[in-house]
């Protein structure tokens, strides 16, 4: 009996106390106005539920101990009690009131969350789920990406849909889940208020590759976001198939020079003899390209391998595909394949392009059967895309 006495309060304490993951504020660290509302609602409900739980369990434990059968056993039957109108009314009314209150608060908060801003300056981002990756298109900029880039402090509207089965778009730190249904657009809105990197997932079992249907969210300042957009546009607007040499891209120069490190190597822009990038101030040492591989060889190989049918690749004539991610800046991403694959240097990138399905089952990117040598050359070029 003593053991039960000790264990009962301990169990209550364990159930009611926060998780041991004390380093993090909680499972979710809200970083947008919408996530704040959801988080407040969560905490309010949890605290209320904890109070009710402790009260009910406490009374239960008290009653079982206080009124238990004791020795010596009574010689006569103890008083038998049937019904207590006041108590019964109370335990029906109080929970009903709590539920009605929670319902009211939830509905009003959901109403706040679903206020789609009509401000013309709002950035609209189209979110398309497909087995097994996400695609984000930014307003009418023509820019698409597989990681989500957002400016902080700006109201964002997401038009969420799918091309095949039901997926669910979820960035826990930024918003609740929203289904991506084929043939339907679900619209959500939020405003990120903290710069940072957030994790996004698909929250609806959608097939064999569901677990890898991840994406990164990069929330940056308005200025950095515009810069990223221009960098991507420079890639997307690059060489039309007919053009042999890429037309000078004013944006490319501007963006490249605005990037702190002079990462673009002069020798690394093979197809860009006329590119404004070429006369870079000092010949910086090749940062990441594997020794011996000439990026120019990779640039020559990429059109042969047909990479441009799916990818937009800056500096590669005709590489304007938009099925896979735009590869502008690919060497600077620390994760690729929608966040499923680490990208900490040429070796990671090489492993990926040599056999994508091995690293991310269900990926749309095929195994092209590249030889080791071909992969090394292609990676040498891709590593110049900072």
Q: Which residues sit at the interface with ligand CUA, rule CB under 6 A? A: 129, 132, 167, 202, 204-206, 210, 213
Distance CA 258, CA 250 (A): 13
Short-list 59, 191, 55, CA closest to 123: 191
Nearer residue to ligand CUA within complex by CB, 127 or 268 = 127
Nearer residue to ligand CUA within complex by CB, 161 or 376 = 161
* Least Å from the CB of residue 213 to ligand CUA: 4
Burial class (CB in 10 A: 0-12, 13-18, 19+), 214: buried
Nearer residue to ligand CUA within complex by CB, 172 or 317 = 172
Nearer residue to ligand CUA within complex by CB, 32 or 162 = 162
End-to-end CA distance of the chain: 68
Query: Which residue in the block uniquely carries the two structure tokens 């991840």?
Result: 214
Nearer residue to ligand CUA within complex by CB, 131 or 233 = 131
* Least Å from the CB of residue 129 to ligand CUA: 5
* Least Å from the CB of residue 214 to ligand CUA: 10
* Least Å from the CB of residue 218 to ligand CUA: 21
Nearer residue to ligand CUA within complex by CB, 214 or 354 = 214
Distance CA 213, CA 361 (A): 10
Distance CA 143, CA 94 (A): 54
DSSP-assigned letters across all residues of 253-300: HHHHHHSSS--S-GGG-TT-TT-TTSS-SS-PPP-SSPTT--HHHHHH
Nearer residue to ligand CUA within complex by CB, 129 or 317 = 129
Nearer residue to ligand CUA within complex by CB, 206 or 264 = 206
CA 6 from centre of chain? 44
Short-list 158, 93, 160, 152, CA closest to 129: 160
Measured in residues, the chain has a length of 386
* Least Å from the CB of residue 184 to ligand CUA: 15
* Least Å from the CB of residue 352 to ligand CUA: 20
Write the CB contacts of 216 (distance below 8 Å, at least 6 apart in sequence): 147, 148, 197, 198, 199, 200, 333, 335, 338, 339
* Least Å from the CB of residue 158 to ligand CUA: 16
Burial class (CB in 10 A: 0-12, 13-18, 19+), 283: exposed
* Least Å from the CB of residue 337 to ligand CUA: 14
């Amino acid at each position: 009996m003593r053991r039960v006495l000790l264990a009962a309060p301990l169990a209550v304490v364990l159930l009611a106390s926060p998780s041991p993951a004390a380093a993090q504020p909680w499972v979710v660290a809200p970083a947008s106005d919408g996530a704040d509302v959801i988080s407040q609602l969560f905490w309010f409900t949890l605290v209320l539920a904890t109070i009710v739980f402790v009260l009910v369990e406490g009374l239960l434990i008290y009653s079982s101990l206080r009124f238990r059968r004791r020795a010596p056993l009574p010689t006569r039957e103890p008083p038998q009690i049937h019904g207590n109108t006041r108590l019964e009314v109370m335990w029906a009314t109080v929970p009903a009131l709590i539920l009605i209150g929670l319902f009211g608060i939830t509905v009003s908060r959901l109403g706040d969350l679903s206020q789609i801003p009509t401000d013309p300056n709002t950035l609209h981002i189209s979110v398309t789920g497909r087995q097994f990756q996400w695609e984000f298109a930014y307003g009418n900029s023509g820019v698409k990406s597989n990681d989500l880039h957002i400016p902080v402090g700006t109201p964002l509207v997401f038009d969420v849909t799918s091309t095949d089965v039901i997926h669910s778009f979820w960035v826990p730190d930024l918003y609740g889940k929203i289904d991506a249904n084929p043939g339907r657009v679900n619209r959500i809105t939020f405003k990120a208020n903290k710069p940072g990197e957030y994790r996004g997932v698909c929250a609806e079992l959608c097939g064999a590759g569901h677990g890898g249907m991840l994406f990164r969210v990069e929330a940056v300042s308005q200025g950095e976001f515009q810069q990223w957009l221009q960098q991507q546009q420079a890639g997307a607007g690059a060489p039309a198939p007919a053009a042999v040499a890429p037309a000078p891209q004013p944006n490319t120069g501007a963006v490249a020079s605005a990037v702190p490190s002079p990462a673009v190597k002069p020798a690394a822009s093979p197809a860009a003899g006329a590119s404004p990038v070429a006369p870079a101030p000092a010949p910086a040492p090749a940062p990441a390209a594997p020794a011996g591989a000439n990026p120019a060889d990779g640039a020559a190989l990429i059109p042969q391998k047909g990479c441009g049918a799916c990818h937009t690749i800056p500096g590669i004539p005709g590489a304007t595909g938009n099925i896979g991610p735009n590869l502008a800046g690919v060497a600077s991403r620390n994760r690729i394949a929608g966040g499923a694959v680490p990208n900490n240097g040429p070796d990671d990138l090489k492993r990926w392009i040599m056999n994508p399905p091995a690293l991310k089952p269900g990926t749309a990117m095929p195994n092209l059967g590249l030889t080791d040598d071909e992969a090394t050359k292609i990676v040498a070029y891709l590593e110049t895309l900072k």
